Structure 1
Amino acid sequence: MNAGLPVRDRLLPVEALPELDVPPGEVARARELAARHGMVRDRGVDLDDPVITRVERFAAERDRPAVADGRRSLSYAELAVEARRFATLLEREGVEPGTVVGVGGERRIEVLAAFLALELVGALYVPADGSWPAGRVRDVLDQAGAALLITVEDEVPAALREGAEAAGCRIVPADAARECEPWRGEPRLESPDQPRYVLFTSGSTGRPKGAVVEHRGMVNHLYAKIVDLGMTDADVLAMTSPLGFDISVWQMVCPLLVGGRVEIVPDEVAHDQVAFARAVDARGVTVVELVPTMVRHLLDDLPDAPAGSLGGLRWMIATGEELPAELSRRWLEAMPHAGLLNAYGPTECSDDVTHHTVTAPDLDLLRLPIGSPIINSRLYVLRRAADDTWAACEVDEVGELFVGGVCVGRGYLGDPDRTAAAFFRDPFEKSPTGRLYRTGDAVRLLPAGAGGEDRPVLQYLGRVDRQVKISGVRMELGEIEAVLQRHPGVGAAAVVVHEFDY
């Protein structure tokens, strides 16, 4: 148990990361190829400001609606006050800067307020989804070292309570913040590389891995969405993701950087496609993000929705699993007014690292492109040479994707071995905090003119290890095997994936 320990003391420092074995000549060649093929994208954006600072700035300039969840709505000023009440509660409960606090339950305004409050007091956010089994809650809170869990529902789900208690985590209801005075301090952001949140992904040992994301990586990803989607204060983003998914962070926060609005969609609406389409129209939602499976269900059920449904939608973002060309064709035909963005990225790199706007010429490809890098990211396609060193790939050559830039996170919390297996000192960009992440994904650069782009773009070809995605959920088959083998009646286990046509 690591409850209350500062996160910085449980991370592998960059100088302790292994070196990626790339010969000097290949280092120069990889840099040159990445630059020539548009796999380096630098853009100056302000990564220093806390999100709460932007919220309070909009509140002072011209207050406007910030967030709604079907139960209530808050303006920017009201959201800022609620966040500061939560900050007082956190400080009263003994939360120290650099430690981890759990926030658990369903999607609600209180989750966003608590997220901003943690930014104020300098602590890290780790979500515990209300739908998780008790064992998952226990593992996440225990590995995160969370001494406190803020619960946002009126009645704490039994599994959430059981898991928190098993992890030795105190439970504090969000309602306790109502009696607190707003906290009056300045946000405790020491530097842009300060760890901001921990999200847990599947692990092959049977225990999840806690990926630590920095403030600057998070904010850079928010601005990447703003830039590539052209988001303004007129946009309304639907928050549909469960709290345990990395996309929940940007869905919850991104519009607040431009004065837009977050619409938190409850599960009973998000899982009913006709009800969801009605909610998108009624609430003026302009940006939606779904896994392709849910995009398919939405298109299947649209004939049962009112005529003209989704007419105000500007963007559909597909993420979490491979986007089929056939599904993209259906979307472009049914929704010509709404762009389709294919997004790809690992949790370890602050969420998405590539974007691709799907167009009709892309549909002739066997597999759609995942595109080119988001701002301030650097992508390298490398292959193992005969001498076991790494070499840069040419266009159309299959290799493994490596990610550099400010998006790369700190590694896995309290897990130096698995950190050292996936994170390296960046040989291509020499800087004190330069890290390179090995995605484990096979990709290739498509030549200019393939699909709808006049420049090379990346195409995803699958995992190089045994990690898979099912309905947008990333998991390792080895983790499932390890859990099965914990049962006293199981001597050995093997897990494979089958695809069925229904």
Structure 2
Amino acid sequence: MISGGSALDRLLPLDGLPALAVPADEAGRARELAVRHGMLRERDLDLADPVITRVERFAAERDRPAVTDRDRSLSYGELAAEARRIAALLEREGVRPGTVVGVGGGRSAAVVAAFLAIELVGALYVPADETWPAGRVRDVLGQAGAGVLLLVDRGEPAPALLEGAAEAGCRVVPVAGADGLEPWRGAPRLASLDRPRYVLFTSGSTGRPKGAVVEHQGMVNHLWAKIIDLGLTGDDVVAQTAPLGFDISVWQMLCPLLVGGRVDVIGDEVGHDPAAFARAVDEQGITIVELVPTMVRHLLDDLGEAPAGSLGGLRWMIATGEELPAELSRRWLEAMPHARLLNAYGPTECSDDVTHHTVTAGDLELLRLPIGTPVVNARLYVLRAPEDGADEGWTACDVGETGELFVGGVVVGRGYLGDDERTREAFYRDPFGESPTGRLYRTGDAVRLLPAGAGGEDRPTLQYLGRVDRQVKISGVRMELGEIEAVLQRHPAVRAAAVVVHEYPAG
């Protein structure tokens, strides 16, 4: 058995979290405002089934392509069989429910199969991207307590993966070792909905990465949220473009599998070349793409020389990871009227996106675009910190008021793996009533609740204003640096802007 033990032993329990100091009457008002303004979007979903269960169901009913990459295409039946062979390999290597398994390499069909295999045996997935330096690989695998690094690349592995794994004391297991093994025959090991499903490491302000733990119910809820809001069906093809260490890689490689669609894995050699990427979208019949706004801009820049009708089959472009400028949105709406533009926002700690907003022409007159309304089963609260900086006395914000965004509901993750101190800094016991997880996450993001009618929305919607720690006072006047950046970016000669404050000694 792997020496790392169970990750469950390294998670802070709910009663170890601090209580958010909201007076009882103010907590009631916050919940009432959230209900009134549509910030609590409740829907009864069946979150129990693992993704592998749906894959095997589609394999039995109507076997069709499930995932393709540069080298091969796997049907649902082939994907399920490969996942079960890898599960047999993992069990042979001592992986048990609750242990952490590293997956190292580049994105590929094999990564999808590896994730499903880890799900089968009840372990936790933690990715180690092939582009990471050895120190990053060491820190992630070491902090996660991974006993095995499953190498998914069939060719020569990146030396940094091997070096980092060795420094972390993590045994390297090539996925090729599953070839010829009898498929694992057991039922998926899911002890409970709150069983941790994966760990993704985000950058920490101290330079030490933080391992955000997402539960099964949060992950599956987010997959269904994407299906519901995008109207995703078995006819859709989703581009898997995100590096493995990014949270959006999870939904990109799993979401289509819940509805019988297809995942098309796009490698960096194509993903980093806008012209080549546009050709791949057309040739592979891709219907849904998610990119950072910077890449959306490059894509539009290169489309001027592309054949007429490029991206004609695209249904959705999802922008995430950076603030989406109104100027860029205007360009997209004019160039691609057939493909809707979705502005998505969410932290890794909350199972990825917690808001969606479909951008319309009405949004373009706003100083900053809305980030939208909650995804299904996310609970959003806008709270104002005490003026004196005290720990107690948080108050609820109404329409038009600026506050800090807090997230509750089934989407909230478990905290940071093996890091109780930083878990207590960002996670609280939820004071706003019964919650599926009992936890509340503090985003550190300043938002404003816009009234119904703003940007063409028929209900209140959230507008992102920047990090709460970027608010400054100049000559006694409170200013948001992000607001100044937004004004600068509206000028046609400005592509990007960053505003900083310099202090000079008097005299």
TM-score, normalization by structure 2: 0.91
CA distance in structure 1 between the partners assigned to 2:198 and 2:433 by the alignment: 25
Pairing 1:104–2:104 present: yes
1:257 alignment counterpart:
258
Instruction: Please say if residues 409 and 437 of structure 2, whose CA atoms lie closer than 8 Å, have aligned partners that are also in contact.
Output: no
**Which deviates more, 442-451 or 209-218?**
442-451
Shift of 1:179: 2.2
CA distance in structure 2 between the partners assigned to 1:281 and 1:363 by the alignment: 28
CA distance in structure 2 between the partners assigned to 1:395 and 1:217 by the alignment: 28
5+ residue gaps, structure 2 = 472-496, 501-507
Report SS of the residue matched to 1:436.
strand
CA distance in structure 2 between the partners assigned to 1:326 and 1:156 by the alignment: 42
What per-residue deviation string (whole Å, max 9, x for no partner) do you get for residues 277-304 of structure 1?
1100110000000000000000000122
Pairing 1:307–2:308 present: yes
CA distance in structure 2 between the partners assigned to 1:188 and 1:68 by the alignment: 27
What per-residue deviation string (whole Å, max 9, x for no partner) do you get for residues 250-283 of structure 1?
0010000000000000110111111111100110
Report SS of the residue matched to 2:179.
helix
User: Structure 2 matches for 1:75-94, cutoff 5 A?
Assistant: 75-94=75-94
Report SS of the residue matched to 1:179.
coil
Shift of 1:377: 0.7
Shift of 1:137: 0.5
2:291 alignment counterpart:
290
Instruction: Give the partner amino acid of 1:249.
Output: V
2:430 alignment counterpart:
426
CA distance in structure 2 between the partners assigned to 1:253 and 1:138 by the alignment: 27
Pairing 1:340–2:341 present: yes
Shift of 1:449: 1.2
Shift of 1:498: 5.3
Instruction: Give the partner amino acid of 1:191.
Output: S
1:67 alignment counterpart:
67
**Which deviates more, 298-307 or 28-37?**
298-307
TM-score, normalization by structure 1: 0.92
Shift of 1:306: 1.8
CA distance in structure 2 between the partners assigned to 1:324 and 1:252 by the alignment: 27
Pairing 1:269–2:270 present: yes
Shift of 1:174: 1.2
User: Structure 2 matches for 1:219-230, cutoff 5 A?
Assistant: 219-230=220-231
CA distance in structure 1 between the partners assigned to 2:301 and 2:320 by the alignment: 19
1:461 alignment counterpart:
465
Taking only the aligned residue pairs, the percentage that are identical comes to: 76
User: Residues 25 and 10 (structure 1 numbering): CA distance in 2 closer, same or farther, change over 3 Å?
Assistant: same
2:384 alignment counterpart:
383
Provide runs of 4+ in structure 1 moved above 6 Å.
Answer: none
Shift of 1:384: 1.5
User: Residues 141 and 368 (structure 1 numbering): CA distance in 2 closer, same or farther, change over 3 Å?
Assistant: same
Instruction: Give the partner amino acid of 1:12.
Output: L
Instruction: Please say if residues 367 and 459 of structure 1, whose CA atoms lie closer than 8 Å, have aligned partners that are also in contact.
Output: yes
Shift of 1:429: 2.4
CA distance in structure 1 between the partners assigned to 2:126 and 2:196 by the alignment: 12
Pairing 1:444–2:448 present: yes
CA distance in structure 2 between the partners assigned to 1:58 and 1:44 by the alignment: 23
Instruction: Please say if residues 3 and 142 of structure 1, whose CA atoms lie closer than 8 Å, have aligned partners that are also in contact.
Output: no
Instruction: Please say if residues 412 and 437 of structure 2, whose CA atoms lie closer than 8 Å, have aligned partners that are also in contact.
Output: no
Shift of 1:204: 1.8
Shift of 1:499: 6.5
What per-residue deviation string (whole Å, max 9, x for no partner) do you get for residues 124-169 of structure 1?
0000000011110000000000010011221110111111111011
Name the count of aligned residue pairs: 470
Report SS of the residue matched to 1:81.
helix
What per-residue deviation string (whole Å, max 9, x for no partner) do you get for residues 89-124 of structure 1?
000000111010000110111111010000000000
CA distance in structure 2 between the partners assigned to 1:498 and 1:26 by the alignment: 36
What per-residue deviation string (whole Å, max 9, x for no partner) do you get for residues 410-441 of structure 1?
00000001001100010012247310000000
Report SS of the residue matched to 2:193.
coil
Instruction: Please say if residues 42 and 377 of structure 2, whose CA atoms lie closer than 8 Å, have aligned partners that are also in contact.
Output: yes
User: Residues 417 and 119 (structure 1 numbering): CA distance in 2 closer, same or farther, change over 3 Å?
Assistant: same
Instruction: Please say if residues 255 and 262 of structure 1, whose CA atoms lie closer than 8 Å, have aligned partners that are also in contact.
Output: yes
What per-residue deviation string (whole Å, max 9, x for no partner) do you get for residues 394-414 of structure 1?
111110000000000000000
1:480 alignment counterpart:
none
CA distance in structure 2 between the partners assigned to 1:3 and 1:33 by the alignment: 49
1:9 alignment counterpart:
9
1:489 alignment counterpart:
none
Pairing 1:409–2:410 present: no
1:174 alignment counterpart:
175
Instruction: Please say if residues 409 and 435 of structure 2, whose CA atoms lie closer than 8 Å, have aligned partners that are also in contact.
Output: no
CA distance in structure 2 between the partners assigned to 1:498 and 1:52 by the alignment: 44
Instruction: Please say if residues 408 and 435 of structure 2, whose CA atoms lie closer than 8 Å, have aligned partners that are also in contact.
Output: no
User: Residues 466 and 84 (structure 1 numbering): CA distance in 2 closer, same or farther, change over 3 Å?
Assistant: farther
CA distance in structure 2 between the partners assigned to 1:206 and 1:231 by the alignment: 38
Instruction: Please say if residues 101 and 126 of structure 1, whose CA atoms lie closer than 8 Å, have aligned partners that are also in contact.
Output: yes
Pairing 1:239–2:240 present: yes
CA distance in structure 1 between the partners assigned to 2:296 and 2:64 by the alignment: 31
Instruction: Give the partner amino acid of 2:74.
Output: L
Q: CA RMSD in A?
A: 1.5
Instruction: Give the partner amino acid of 1:82.
Output: E
Shift of 1:389: 1.3
Shift of 1:181: 1.1
5+ residue gaps, structure 1 = 468-496
User: Structure 2 matches for 1:346-385, cutoff 5 A?
Assistant: 346-385=347-386
Instruction: Give the partner amino acid of 2:28.
Output: A
Shift of 1:317: 0.2
2:146 alignment counterpart:
146
1:395 alignment counterpart:
399
Instruction: Give the partner amino acid of 1:101.
Output: V
